[in-house]
């Protein structure tokens, strides 16, 4: 990122940190108390009530671009990348994400090749960089998912259905600007604000 500071500051290059979140009806009750030396099993009663979200936090603005899908897979990843392009007119995208199999799939790689039109790397429309394997602490969006799930848990007694849970989760994401320590961990860009 340091080599492209001027482009980022000028708004020509948008830095996005991407991840997927799988919201389950069971997320509403996420804490259990018990003895530390005993395993506690928590049955998941209704596995069908789940929603997958793709999210990208804008590194400079702290906004989260959220879109719901039925699952995390190559087709939905491509659709989400197209959505991000639509949300970022006249900007190149620098995307940081994990090494999920559908991020590395042939379908996604073919899409990226098509979008980047054989241009030199510095002119690519979408440039993807992977976080270190098995290191969610590198991606600040993990804290956003946790904040949103923690927020809806506060209202668990008032949430009568999974559709209400999804509405509340999405409302929190769309009405919150995120600014916390892990979002600032990548250096000089933490000081750049619009």
Instruction: Give residue-wise pLDDT tens across range 139-156.
Output: 888 888 988 998 888 887
pLDDT value at position 68? Answer: 96
**Residue 191 pLDDT exceeds 70:** no
More confident residue, 32 or 11: 11
Q: Range of 97's domain?
A: 2-21+45-191
Task: Tell me what the mean pLDDT of segment 155-182 comes to.
Answer: 84
pLDDT digits (tens, 9 = 90+) for 5-27: 888 888 889 999 999 999 888 76
Separation of alpha carbons 42 and 78, rounded Å: 35
pLDDT value at position 192? Answer: 39
Separation of alpha carbons 9 and 178, rounded Å: 19
pLDDT value at position 136? Answer: 75
Please count the structural domains in the chain: 1
Instruction: Give domain status of residue 31, yes or no.
Output: no
pLDDT value at position 82? Answer: 98
pLDDT digits (tens, 9 = 90+) for 112-124: 999 999 899 889 9
More confident residue, 126 or 159: 126
Instruction: Give domain status of residue 76, yes or no.
Output: yes
Across the chain, mean pLDDT equals: 84
Instruction: Give domain status of residue 17, yes or no.
Output: yes
pLDDT value at position 131? Answer: 85
Task: Tell me what the mean pLDDT of segment 38-65 comes to.
Answer: 78
Residue entry with tokens 């995390």: 72
Instruction: Give domain status of residue 30, yes or no.
Output: no
Instruction: Give domain status of residue 28, yes or no.
Output: no
Instruction: Give domain status of residue 39, yes or no.
Output: no
Strand partners, 21: 53
| Among 18-32, 36-50, 57-71, the least confident range | 36-50
pLDDT value at position 93? Answer: 97
**Residue 55 pLDDT exceeds 90:** yes
CATH number at residue 117: 3.30.420.10
pLDDT value at position 32? Answer: 53
110 Cβ contact partners less than 8 Å away, ≥ 6 residues apart: none
Instruction: Give domain status of residue 74, yes or no.
Output: yes
What is the bridge-based pairing of β-strands 13-24 and 50-58?
antiparallel
Instruction: Give domain status of residue 164, yes or no.
Output: yes
Backbone CA torsion sign across 4, 79, 72, 104? negative
């Amino acid at each position: 990122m340091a080599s492209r500071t001027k482009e980022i500051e000028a708004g020509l290059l948008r830095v996005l940190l991407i991840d997927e979140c799988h919201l389950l009806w069971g997320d509403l009750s996420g804490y259990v108390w018990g003895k530390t030396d005993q395993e506690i099993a928590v049955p998941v009663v209704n596995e069908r009530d789940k929603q997958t979200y793709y999210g990208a936090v804008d590194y400079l603005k702290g906004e989260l671009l959220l879109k719901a899908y039925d699952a995390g897979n190559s087709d939905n990843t491509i659709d989400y990348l197209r959505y991000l392009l639509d949300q970022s007119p006249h900007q190149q995208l620098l995307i940081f994400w994990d090494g999920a199999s559908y991020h590395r799939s042939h379908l996604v790689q073919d899409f990226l090749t098509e979008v980047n039109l054989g241009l030199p790397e510095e002119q690519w429309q979408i440039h993807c960089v992977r976080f270190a394997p098995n290191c969610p602490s590198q991606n600040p969006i993990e804290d956003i998912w946790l904040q949103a799930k923690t927020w809806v848990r506060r209202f668990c007694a008032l949430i009568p259905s999974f559709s209400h849970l999804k509405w509340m989760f999405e409302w929190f994401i769309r009405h919150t600007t995120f600014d916390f320590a892990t979002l600032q961990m990548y250096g000089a860009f933490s000081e750049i604000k619009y």
